[in-house]
Amino acid sequence: MFSWLGTDDRRKKEPEVFQTVSEGLKKLYKTKLLPLEESYKFHEFHSPALEDADFDNKPMVLLVGQYSTGKTSFIRYLLEQDFPGMRIGPEPTTDSFIAVMHGDTEGVIPGNALVVDPKKPFRKLNAFGNAFLNRFVCAQLPNPVLESISVIDTPGILSGEKQRISRGYDFAAVLEWFAERVDRIILLFDAHKLDISDEFSEVIKALKNHEDKIRVVLNKADQIETQQLMRVYGALMWSLGKIVNTPEVIRVYIGSFWSHPLLIPDNRKLFEAEEQDLFKDIQSLPRNAALRKLNDLIKRARLAKVHAFIISSLKKEMPSVFGKDNKKKELIASLGDIYKRIEREHQISPGDFPNLKKMQDQLQAQDLTKFQPLKPKLLEAVDDMLASDIAGLMVLVRQEENQKPNPVVKGGAFDGTLHGPFGHGYGEGAGEGIDEAEWVVARDKPAYDEIFYTLSPVNGKVTGANAKKEMVKSKLPNTVLGKIWKLADIDKDGMLDDEEFALANHLIKVKLEGHELPSELPAHLVPPSKRKIVE
């Protein structure tokens, strides 16, 4: 008789089906999370509401650092061209937030025009007022790098109370707004100026909960000797350890990110390897963009739930008629105890709660009697989103990744070392001799031949057992020696002739020098007499 009730209930429990991840994120946010945020004034306490552009925009990279650490030069190095509004100098030159984005023509869009453009993800920056908007511009230019990512350049961080007050807007709050929406945060340090000022310390603390996005660059490292560089690196790690409260060590990339000659080229190889690692990290951003947006929505939903519990608890404790002001002071003072009670009652991790001191300051300006009581239906919608809808989107993320060609950042500095002799590791390790007419192994073959003929070859070949006795003297693990054997035994007969034996010893030497072995034998390492077999 009442079977339709059960059917309707089941329909509600089924996760929604979406065509794209972006469409799914927008709909889940608007229908399930946004009503909870609006009911409990989430946007007044934490972060403005998200818009469609926040889900559709390209991955963004935020550059943060003290003045003259090379933030603008870093962007110039990536793009390999100047961008509108760019100024570089040893003094604090960049006095604005500059969003460097792709456009068909070069130009600058001022802040007040930017925040009314629905296609740009900056509309909610309107809340920071004219003092900020007069210091915010978008530089547009046609550049292949910007087809995949956008870069946000920030004013150099200063030290001293006077400079901080003169900004006219909450610098740390603006950076926190960007931190929630960007895919990567790069903190730049100058090898000569490691001091972390009060404002910089405040900024790093404002980036709390976004540690997974932070990368650190120790720039201008070519200006100091190797011994000093080791000390500078140690001092930087020590300073960061006092501010960034995580058990993991933050990844620090060392280099000189501009197109000038290295002043002290001793650590050239180190700088090249570090640059390649950083470039790979940035190039992976388009591939992981959907997953990052999904992750940020989950983080936001967890905070919104906790916020709802806090607000409804305060409302519940407030008297309806007399003694409102005294009760408000009492509740704000005992907010820490309310946190603990909510933590126990709802099994919430302490790390999910907002900053206690900041929350107490914000509550001072609020009328606690106008807060909403707990609305279970709103919380159930968010719980349902986290439990079932998000899982469906995770599957869709993987499907989209498999359907699209591998999206990576191209152009500019990313293409500079992609091909040709200036690629990282070109002509080194297994790549040694790649451009030479003669077989590179032939140089050391006379020495290898002497060992070969002591191993009792039969019909010009040594058995696997005899070759093993010599190869294990390298002290390399069996897994590595097994790979070397597979690469060297070109005719796959289970034995090695003099050329194959020489090749095996060459590959052992490559590995002992710290290089990686190739997964397949490069053409230039194939012995001349075996090249027809490989073909």
The answer to whether residues 129 and 110 belong to one domain is yes
Look at residue 417 in the predicted model and tell me its pLDDT.
61
pLDDT in tens, 339-384: 999 999 988 888 889 888 889 988 888 888 888 898 999 999 999 9
Residue 359 lies in a domain: yes
Tell me the C-alpha distance between 50 and 262, whole Å: 44
- Confidence band of 102 (pLDDT split at 50, 70, 90): very high
The answer to whether residues 215 and 245 belong to one domain is yes
Whether 36 and 308 have beta carbons less than 8 Å apart is answered as yes
Name the token pair of 130. Answer: 């004219």
The answer to whether residues 476 and 383 belong to one domain is no
pLDDT in tens, 149-179: 999 999 888 655 545 556 778 888 888 899 9
Look at residue 423 in the predicted model and tell me its pLDDT.
64
Task: Answer yes or no: is pLDDT of 305 > 90.
Answer: yes
Task: Answer yes or no: is pLDDT of 414 > 50.
Answer: yes
Domain with 501, as residue range(s), is 430-533
Chosen domain end from 252, 284, 316: 284
Element (H, E) at 495: strand 495-497
Task: Answer yes or no: is pLDDT of 276 > 70.
Answer: yes
> To the nearest whole percent, how much of the chain has pLDDT over 90?
32
Task: Answer yes or no: is pLDDT of 58 > 80.
Answer: yes
Tell me the C-alpha distance between 17 and 393, whole Å: 9
The answer to whether residues 225 and 359 belong to one domain is no
Task: Answer yes or no: is pLDDT of 5 > 50.
Answer: no
Residue 412 lies in a domain: no
Q: Give the CATH number, domain containing residue 65.
A: 3.40.50.300
pLDDT in tens, 238-272: 888 777 766 677 889 999 988 788 888 888 888 88
Q: Give the CATH number, domain containing residue 460.
A: 1.10.238.10
* pTM listed for this prediction: 0.76
The answer to whether residues 266 and 297 belong to one domain is no
Name the token pair of 509. Answer: 């030497």
Positive or negative torsion for Cα 158, 161, 167, 171: positive
Residue 6 lies in a domain: no
The answer to whether residues 121 and 192 belong to one domain is yes
Classify 309 as helix, strand or coil: helix
The answer to whether residues 383 and 518 belong to one domain is no
Task: Answer yes or no: is pLDDT of 402 > 90.
Answer: no
Higher pLDDT, 203 or 134: 134
Element (H, E) at 404: none
How many of the other CB atoms lie within 10 Å of CB of 517? 16
How many domains does the chain fold into? 3
Task: Answer yes or no: is pLDDT of 33 > 90.
Answer: yes
Look at residue 153 in the predicted model and tell me its pLDDT.
92
Tell me the C-alpha distance between 194 and 205, whole Å: 17
Residue 367 lies in a domain: yes
Task: Answer yes or no: is pLDDT of 434 > 50.
Answer: yes
Residue 408 lies in a domain: no
pLDDT in tens, 479-497: 999 999 999 999 888 999 9
Residue 411 lies in a domain: no
Residue 112 lies in a domain: yes
Task: Answer yes or no: is pLDDT of 7 > 60.
Answer: no
The answer to whether residues 98 and 241 belong to one domain is yes
258: amino acid identity, one letter:
W
The answer to whether residues 435 and 398 belong to one domain is no
Look at residue 127 in the predicted model and tell me its pLDDT.
86
Task: Answer yes or no: is pLDDT of 3 > 70.
Answer: no
- Confidence band of 11 (pLDDT split at 50, 70, 90): very low
Q: Give the CATH number, domain containing residue 343.
A: 1.10.268.20
Tell me the C-alpha distance between 98 and 140, whole Å: 10
Residue 415 lies in a domain: no
The answer to whether residues 147 and 202 belong to one domain is yes
The answer to whether residues 114 and 229 belong to one domain is yes
Mean pLDDT (the chain, rounded): 84
Tell me the C-alpha distance between 380 and 53, whole Å: 27
The answer to whether residues 241 and 191 belong to one domain is yes
